[in-house]
Structure 1
Amino acid sequence: MSLRTRFAPSPTGPLHLGHAYSALLAHDTARAAGGTFLLRLDDLDQSRARPEWAALIESDLAWLGLTWNGPVLRQSDRLPRYRAALAALWDRGLLYPCHCSRRDIEAAASAPQEGAPLHGPDGVIYPDTCRPAQPPGGPLPEGVALRLDMTRAAAAAGLDVTPLCYQETGVADPPGPLGPDHFTRAIGDVALARRGLGASYHLAVVLDDADQSVTHVIRGADLASATPIHVLLQRLLGLPTPIYHHHRLIRDETGRRLAKRDDARAIAAYRAEGRTPADLRALVRLSPPHHLGPNTLGG
């Protein structure tokens, strides 16, 4: 299978230099290998997603010289697919409803008897407040948050027999085999569906990458800690595992990574100043043509 990458921003604000670097790297890697580059919109949060931001994303990427194969996939169109995966996990007793707010979680995790709260890929590790002693049973509930019972999930995935392994490049310390302790202690019961959103990022990105036959996931180093969750879900759902590359982050003068609130570094702002795509490549230290190479990507 030829190399297939993707860029999947959220249409909740303007793209900035960090987005430009990630999109250019994924695009250049695919084109250098004669492969496929896909554009996907993470628009599950319809309370924040805006058509004008989606249009600006496409405009900015086209201005940078990027082209993508096929139509843009929108996660908001794929809710039945996510629901079906949740139902499959629910029927196996791996999910349970959670009624905790973010404040509830922080308060429970910070209780004096708990010590200092532990943090994982989703922030404070869930303190198991709503986890039932036995799988809930019955039909899959609607309109509630659903968490993955990590203890049961690790057992179902056979992590005590076959530790989780995957190929990851770009990080300082590539992961070794991961057993159940990593998932129960360092990650905890992550949410796979959030109230009002239908699915969480973790579930949606795994299903989208599989359904689009993505072979190489190229994304920022800030998401490296979430990758074990995604590989675990791939094993539970019988999906292929791509090769992961987590690239460096683009930071401001103080060392803080860029966010959508950094309007001064928005691609649209540089365009308005009369900058060129070559100028932005220089700003993120990425000269065309650029690709990661077969040794780095494992291809």
Structure 2
Amino acid sequence: MIRNIAIAGAGTMGNGIAHIFAQNNFEVNLIDISPEKLEEALQTISGNLDRQIAKGLITAEAKQLSLTNISTFTSIKEGVADADIVVEAVTENPELKLKIFKEIDEYAPASAILATNTSSISITKIASATKRPEKVIGMHFMNPVPVMKLVEIINGFLTEPAVTQTVTELSKQLGKVPCVVNDYPGFIANRILIPMINEAICSLYEGIAGAEEIDMIMKLGMAHPMGPLQLADFIGLDVCLSILQVLHEGFGNPKYAPCPLLVNMVAAGRLGVKTGEGFYIYTPGNNKPAVSKRFTK
């Protein structure tokens, strides 16, 4: 029975995953090397719980219980010591993930499942860094985690069916909808989504339309809740580029080559919401970002 959850990484995805597990009364160990990052994560979780209270979704008592369920650690060794499952949620960097998985594998109980929240990196490759590849699986939550229903569950080449079943049932306990896929570049979500975003960026790069027009066509014509360029800003243009590079390298197909405009924007540090500017400009307290003057038609 899964009761104790360790989460490695306290960034946007990590704190969201901690939030949803704690809210469902699991014991959560949130791990990050930075004490400041852990404190920021707790503040973010508290603020998101307050929003749920304001919407009448939870009570103040439920918020307090959720926060009580979370303990913080700066050491992987201590944080994973009693874990039934470890969910890694660090940045999309293959070398970093392999390093962390080696350490998690060393200190987590032999019975523990090791899951990664990667959005594109091979589960089989990550599993190869451990002595338990049959217990390694992808558990790809969508952002924002407390709101989005989907969990993309990715079987590595050696993942045991019992592990897949356990993680599927665990996702349902969180009120999520699990979808099981196999381990090939981009899995399903990003194999379809990111090339669409790249095509939107290429259309902008080629001067076919402005950013606002491209997004409006996809929102009003295709019923997308957010246009692909604004979504790219939300995901992070560096993350989009990283996923495209995984697809391009993994399949060797030129259709996955990143648009030169995306490459330049990442090199220039214009990464979207997290840097305040991407295809749109984001200012605190403004819920309607303005399209960057670079990308008006």
Q: TM-score, normalised by structure 2?
A: 0.29
Q: Which has the higher contact order (CA 8 A, sep 6+)?
A: 1
More helix by share: 2
